[in-house]
């Protein structure tokens, strides 16, 4: 056993705090003797053995350090003497006071310091891969937090004079909480929509592919008889795309993201927690020359420029064309019945061409898309009277004109 003892106050007493060593033999402790690593003119204290029982860490204010108190180590030999004390260097010691070393059962070194950046005066730090890391709150506080001691794996006590204690320095227990893990699972369903009834039915035995952020293929699974499928996602926050491609149908695409979905640690119940992310993919049959409205395509009054909000919707049409490389479409623009026929015809053609030019600029081959302005000749509501009616007639549509073999 190695411990620190101060001077006894007598004229013949020692001038400083020193380390003493005693041996347990035949059921009794031997008379303590001075360890051979003391500096007799300065304080040496706070000894702590590593789990190997041979490496001793301690604190000393001896000359030659970095300032204040520094942490040293020495190795106990078979003859009961220590090797010369070694300063742990400027990666750990500072010009301030670095005290109270402790070594956890996993050999991680902990210590207290007022020279490292911290929350208060003395804070408790650990050495992780050679770098000093502040343990942070709630272990550290605005007061002095020091002298960690491990009573077991990931559990121990330390001293603190923080507010709310019983006196000056009090003992507090700490316990390292194990990190609860989260696994994200896609809870997917693939369905087919009946355009006539609006009903959806599950699609079985169909492949569904998961793509990463940069378009790389990550997984492929097959739906079960109920149209269900599952996929395990990376535990890190990320966004993905899911695609089901069936001949004769528009490719079903949807996105799924785990960003912001991971609960806080105190909200997790089990060591490993599975979180399901629901998503539905809908297949729609391709019908040639059937108009499909592209929602939310608005233009400023008397203009054909593509507004930012319209660009977002046109980007979705770009994805449709990329997902379905065999289709050729006509993109059409329609006006309401207000204004002169010829003017509406010209304006609608300009708007349709503007949208087509935007889509081509995103990499779609111009041979796969044509622009057509219909003016006011194809209203959805022939007797429009309200602004809502007029808005329904002012629309952008596309229809598939060709499907390549």
What DSSP assignment string belongs to 316-369? Answer: HHHHHHHH-TTEEEEEEEE--S-S-HHHHHHHHHHHHHHHHHHHHHTT--GGGE
pLDDT of res. 12 = 63
Q: Are 287 and 195 in contact (CB under 8 A)?
A: yes
Q: Residue ranges of the domains in the chain?
A: 2-175, 181-285, 292-403
pLDDT, one tens digit per residue, over 344-365 is 899 999 999 999 999 999 999 9
> Would you say the CATH fold of 181-285 matches that of 2-175?
no
pLDDT of res. 178 = 78
Superfamily of domain 292-403, CATH level 4: OmpA-like domain (3.30.1330.60)
pLDDT, one tens digit per residue, over 248-280 is 899 999 999 999 898 988 899 898 899 999 999
pLDDT of res. 291 = 85
Tell me the fold of 2-175: Neuraminidase (2.120.10)
pLDDT, one tens digit per residue, over 155-212 is 999 999 999 888 899 999 998 877 788 999 999 999 999 888 889 999 999 999 999 8
Spatial strand order of the sheet with 33-34 comes to: 2-5, 18-21, 33-34
Superfamily of domain 181-285, CATH level 4: Immunoglobulins (2.60.40.10)
> Quick one: which H or E segment has residue 392?
helix 387-393
* Average pLDDT taken over every residue of the chain: 91
Residue matched to tokens 């559990």:
155
Residue matched to tokens 């040293």:
72
Q: Are 36 and 44 in contact (CB under 8 A)?
A: no
């Amino acid at each position: 056993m190695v411990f620190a003892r101060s001077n006894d106050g007598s004229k013949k007493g020692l001038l400083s705090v020193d380390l003493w060593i005693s041996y347990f033999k035949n059921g009794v402790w031997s008379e303590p003797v001075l360890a051979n690593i003391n500096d007799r003119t300065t304080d040496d204290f706070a000894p702590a053995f590593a789990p190997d029982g041979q490496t001793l860490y301690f604190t000393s204010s001896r000359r030659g350090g970095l300032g204040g108190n520094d942490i040293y180590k020495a190795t106990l030999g078979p003859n009961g003497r220590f090797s010369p004390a070694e300063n742990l260097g400027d990666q750990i010691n500072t010009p301030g006071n670095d005290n109270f070393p402790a070594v956890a059962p996993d050999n991680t070194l902990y210590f207290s310091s007022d020279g490292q950046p911290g929350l208060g005066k003395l804070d408790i730090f650990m050495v992780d891969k050679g770098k000093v890391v502040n343990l942070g709150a709630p272990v550290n506080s605005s007061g002095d937090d020091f002298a960690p001691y491990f009573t077991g794996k990931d559990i121990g006590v330390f001293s603190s004079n923080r507010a709310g204690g019983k006196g000056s320095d009090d003992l507090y227990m700490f316990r390292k909480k194990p990190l609860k893990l989260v696994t994200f699972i896609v809870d997917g369903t693939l369905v087919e929509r009946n355009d006539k009834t609006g009903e959806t039915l599950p699609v079985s035995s169909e492949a569904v592919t998961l793509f990463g952020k940069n378009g790389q293929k990550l997984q492929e699974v097959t739906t079960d008889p109920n149209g269900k499928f599952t996929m395990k996602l990376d535990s890190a926050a990320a966004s993905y795309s899911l695609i089901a491609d069936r001949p004769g149908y528009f490719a079903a695409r949807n996105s799924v993201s785990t960003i912001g979905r991971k609960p806080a640690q105190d909200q997790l119940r089990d060591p490993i927690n599975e979180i399901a992310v629901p998503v539905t993919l809908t297949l729609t049959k391709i019908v040639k020359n059937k108009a499909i409205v592209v929602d939310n395509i608005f233009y400023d009054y008397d203009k054909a420029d593509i507004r930012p909000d319209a660009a977002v919707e046109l980007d979705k049409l770009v994805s449709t064309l990329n997902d379905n490389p065999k289709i050729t479409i006509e993109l059409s623009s329609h006006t309401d019945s207000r204004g002169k026929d010829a003017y509406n015809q010209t304006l609608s053609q300009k708007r349709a061409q503007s949208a087509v030019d935007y889509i081509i600029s995103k990499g779609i081959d111009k041979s796969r898309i044509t622009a057509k302005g219909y003016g006011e000749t194809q209203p959805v509501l022939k007797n429009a009277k309200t602004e809502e009616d007029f808005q329904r007639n002012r629309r952008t549509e596309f229809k598939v004109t060709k499907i390549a073999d």
